[in-house]
Amino acid sequence: MSIARAAAPADPAGREETGGAAVETPIRADRVTKHYLGGQRVALDDFSLDIRAGQVTALIGPSGCGKTTMLRLIAGLEFPTHGAVTMHDRPIAGPGPERGMVFQAYTSFPWLTVVENVEHGMAIQRVPRAERRERAEHFLRLVHLADYADSYPVELSGGMKQRVATARALAQVPEVLLLDVRFGALDALVTWEMEEMVIEIIETQPKTVVLVTHDIQEAIYLADRIIFFTRQPGRLKADLPMTFKNGRRFAKKDEMLSDPGYVDMEKRLYAMMREEIKGRIS
Amino acid sequence: MAAREDLVAATSQGQVSSTAPLHRQDGARGPSAPPATPPRQRFFEIHAITTRRQSILLGIAGVLTWLGLWEIAHHLTPAAEQKFLPGAEQVIVKVAELLFSTNYLADIAKSLYRIYVSFAAACLVAVPLGLLMGSFAKVKALVNPTVGGWRYLPAASFVPLLLVYFGPTDMAKMALLFLGCVFFLIALILDDVLAVPKELVESAQTMGASRWHIVTRVIFPAAAPQILDSMRNMIAVSWTYLVIAEIVAATDGIGAVMMRAARFLHVDVIMAGILTIGILGVLTDIAFRQASHALFPYTHRRR
């Protein structure tokens, strides 16, 4: 299998209209500005963005560009200073189970076993007990952790803990999955494994995904569309559909690396990153 | 990052899986290398590994050293005054004697009762209050200045007041033990709750958890192992207040036995009381550790 089967319902180019109907955009940021420290630090400046249904949107940019802030605004963990972030045209008033999130820090609950962790979100949503266990086991298989159901998180490696958190977020069946997983914190092989697992998951459970990364290769591999942020204050630098993938996703990362479209895209992104770095150093 | 680029470069040239491995993978192995002798470790090495046997032996050596110093001090004391510094063996014998000949066991039971009931009451107040203060900044702002001030008031200074209020009753003694630890306990539990990573709370929020759920099912279990540890430390303080509580108008309890002995200069009984409290304190500590193992098995597991 060289390329995964046809993916996202929406065209990754995202611009075209399918069958005359406009592409659905469940989440929108409309001219969002976010100040910290009473305006001393501007994380986002007049930023507008629409997240398209069924697509993987990667937010990328140098550190301090506000990409994490944007993710937290969508999660409802923070609120904009100006402008609005909406979901289905209603302002986001707080966190909710329809927006599942995987955090950069390890957030598995240490006092619960792996399977209990995955069940926790369903317990909050009052899913019947028997169904909880069944669904939890399904999602653990999806993240290749079925053999560790009864382990405690302390017994797992960093990559495995992130997989527990991913299974937990998926088990709450969110409409939108928010990933703040800088896999780069893990070692190179585990990073690779995690990235391919994310693709596998999105292929089997089609989802609208927003993820934050500072790794150019990771962004190109995972995303259908990349949103490039400028350094502080965060503004939109580029909105890049991954057209070279032709509406599909690579199941294996190494197969993407030799694709000429990938090489071009990587060059473009490195050039952008270079511009941002220059702005800082000079 | 560099490692990763190497990996990518290697893969794009098809080297990772196909080229000859550095080591033979077919299971055929030559004779193994000669056994290695680790460099000799100095006895006092920084962060040296101490075996369980070494730990036990060193612990016993420490106790024996202390008993030896005690014995030497005892024998250096002039014979006429030796009753003011009885030997270690005399004190140990005295504990046994007290246990069998008098109703010392009833006194111990009384002291244990006072400690545990007052401490349980302190926990019943401190755990919910600390949990609420740590979870809700506004509760903390409301309560913390008051509680913080109370910590600096010496519990012993409440003795006269408690005597006026409760008379020479058990209540007076338990109230003192309660006051002696409850404010510290609140402060410690507050810190334990504040130490819960905010990402745990945020991830529960993104699962749609209510505030009640987050406080009781996320923050509390996340802080529970540390809370139990704080309790373990504070019950030791409770033991230190026991004698003060039982000095005043007490007819029973270990402290009362010691005060009675003081009147007749029975130093061996006083020391036997001190030793009893020490032993009971250590046993309490062990019980708390065991409880921690039983309640929070995951804190003792490792990869």
Give the pLDDT of residue A13. Answer: 40
ipTM for this prediction: 0.86
Provide φ and ψ at A77, rounded to 5°: -85, -15
Separation CA B115–CA B243 (nearest Å): 11
The answer to whether residue A178 neighbours chain B at the CB level (below 8 Å) is: yes
pLDDT value at B7 more than 60: no
Give the pLDDT of residue A74. Answer: 95
- Nearest-CB residue to B301 (from A95, A101, A152): A152
The answer to whether residue A109 neighbours chain B at the CB level (below 8 Å) is: yes
Closest chain B residue by Cα to residue A119:
B207
Cβ–Cβ gap A120/B11 under 8 Å: no
Q: Which of A209-213, A230-234, B167-171 has the highest mean pLDDT?
A: A209-213
Q: Which of A254, A255, A263, A273 would best serve as a mutation to test chain B binding (most B beta carbons within 10 A)? A: A254
Encoding tokens for residue A261? Answer: 């479209």
* A:B CB pairs within 8 Å: 95
Average pLDDT over residues B31-38: 84
Give the pLDDT of residue B148. Answer: 85
pLDDT value at A164 more than 60: yes
- Nearest-CB residue to B203 (from A107, A110, A254): A107
Per cent of chain A over pLDDT 90 is 48
Encoding tokens for residue B302? Answer: 């490792």
Average pLDDT over residues B110-131: 96
Which of A25-29, A173-177, A274-278, B274-278 shows the lowest mean pLDDT across its residues? A274-278
- The minimum CA-CA distance between A18 and chain B, rounded to whole Å, is 32
Confidence of residue B25 (pLDDT cuts 50, 70, 90): low
Give the pLDDT of residue A20. Answer: 45
Cβ–Cβ gap A103/B199 under 8 Å: yes
Cβ–Cβ gap A191/B4 under 8 Å: yes
Average pLDDT over residues A224-244: 87
Contacts of A152 in chain B (CB under 8 A): 297-298, 301
**SS3 per-residue string spanning B60-127:** HHHHHHHHHHHHHHHHHCCHHHHHHCCCHHHHHHHHHHHHHHCCHHHHHHHHHHHHHHHHHHHHHHHH
Cβ–Cβ gap A111/B209 under 8 Å: no
Give the pLDDT of residue A275. Answer: 84
Give the pLDDT of residue B169. Answer: 87
Tens-place pLDDT, residues B78-97? 988 888 899 888 999 999 98
Q: How many CB atoms lie within 10 A of CB A113?
A: 19
Average pLDDT, chain A: 85
Average pLDDT over residues A253-268: 89
Q: How many CB atoms lie within 10 A of CB A182?
A: 16
Q: Which residues pair with A179 in a beta bridge?
A: A102, A211
Separation CA B64–CA A113 (nearest Å): 45
Tens-place pLDDT, residues A40-75? 888 888 889 999 999 999 999 887 778 899 999 999
Give the pLDDT of residue B80. Answer: 86
Give the pLDDT of residue A235. Answer: 83
Give the pLDDT of residue B24. Answer: 52
**SS3 per-residue string spanning chain A:** CCCCCCCCCCCCCCCCCECCECCCCCEEEEEEEEEEHHHCEEEEEEEEEEECCCCEEEEECCCCCCHHHHHHHHHCCCCCCEEEEEECCEECCCCCCCEEEECCCCCCCCCCCHHHHHHHHHHHCCCCHHHHHHHHHHHHHHCCCHHHCCCCHHHCCHHHHHHHHHHHHHHCCCCEEEECCCHHHCCHHHHHHHHHHHHHHHHHCCCEEEEEECCHHHHHHHCCEEEEECCCCECEEEEEECHHHCCCCCCCHHHHHCCHHHHHHHHHHHHHHHHHHHHHHC
Contacts of A192 in chain B (CB under 8 A): 7
Give the pLDDT of residue A242. Answer: 87
Reported residue count of chain A is: 282
Encoding tokens for residue B38? Answer: 């680790």
Measure CA B108 to chain center: 21
Label the pairing between strands A225-229 and A82-87. Answer: unpaired
Helices (H), chain B: 2-12, 15-18, 52-76, 88-101, 104-135, 137-150, 159-166, 170-194, 198-206, 211-213, 220-247, 254-263, 267-295
Reported residue count of chain B is: 303
Tens-place pLDDT, residues A22-47? 678 899 999 999 888 887 888 888 88
Cβ–Cβ gap A168/B207 under 8 Å: yes
Tens-place pLDDT, residues A103-117? 988 899 999 999 999
Cβ–Cβ gap A101/B301 under 8 Å: no
Higher pLDDT: B29 or A24? It is A24
Give the pLDDT of residue B154. Answer: 83
Confidence of residue A9 (pLDDT cuts 50, 70, 90): very low
Per cent of chain B over pLDDT 70 is 89
pLDDT value at B32 more than 50: yes
Separation CA B273–CA B251 (nearest Å): 15
Contacts of A106 in chain B (CB under 8 A): 199
Separation CA A97–CA B117 (nearest Å): 44
Closest chain A residue by Cα to residue B303:
A155
Separation CA B117–CA B105 (nearest Å): 18
Cβ–Cβ gap A103/B205 under 8 Å: no
Confidence of residue B3 (pLDDT cuts 50, 70, 90): very low
For the question of whether the overall pTM of this predicted structure is more than 0.95, the answer is no
Put the strands of the sheet holding A176-179 in their side by side order.
A99-102, A176-179, A208-213, A56-60, A225-229, A236-241
Tens-place pLDDT, residues B174-190? 999 999 999 999 999 99
Encoding tokens for residue A241? Answer: 């559909």
The answer to whether residue A168 neighbours chain B at the CB level (below 8 Å) is: yes
Contacts of A186 in chain B (CB under 8 A): none
